[in-house]
Amino acid sequence: KAGVTQTPRYLIKTRGQQVTLSCSPISGHRSVSWYQQTPGQGLQFLFEYFSETQRNKGNFPGRFSGRQFSNSRSEMNVSTLELGDSALYLCASSLGAETNSPLHFGNGTRLTVT
């Protein structure tokens, strides 16, 4: 069974631009979560989608948004990029039926903002 796939693996953007990251979950998984990982703040929850609906959102500004499609694939968008948005963005999928259903992570997209 294929794992969680994130594209692209690396991105370099300029301040003020916007970016879209993509995530394909494990087949059969209906929940997709996004996390930001930085050396200073560690791993922080961005949001979670289940059956195309955002179930929960972390404490990030409105520049960070996401969506989920009917096939459970998800995208995350960051508008008006800032230098502090440089991070590893991790997507995770799970069955989502239970809150203790373990998350399976992709290898991430490393975003560098210059």
Among 45, 60, 67, 73, binds other proteins (CB under 8 A): 45
Q: Is 66 in the site for other proteins (CB under 8 A)?
A: no
Count Cβ atoms within 10 A of the Cβ of residue 60 and give its class: 0-12 exposed, 13-18 middle, 19 or more buried.
middle
Q: Is 21 in the site for other proteins (CB under 8 A)?
A: no
Quote the least distance from Cβ 112 to other proteins, whole Å: 14
Nearest to 73 by CA among 49, 55, 102: 49
Q: Is 60 in the site for other proteins (CB under 8 A)?
A: no
Quote the least distance from Cβ 71 to other proteins, whole Å: 19
Q: Is 70 in the site for other proteins (CB under 8 A)?
A: no
Q: Is 96 in the site for other proteins (CB under 8 A)?
A: yes
Quote the least distance from Cβ 16 to other proteins, whole Å: 28
Binding region for other proteins (CB under 8 A):
4, 6, 31, 33, 35, 42-43, 45, 48, 50, 55-56, 58, 90, 92, 94, 96, 99-108
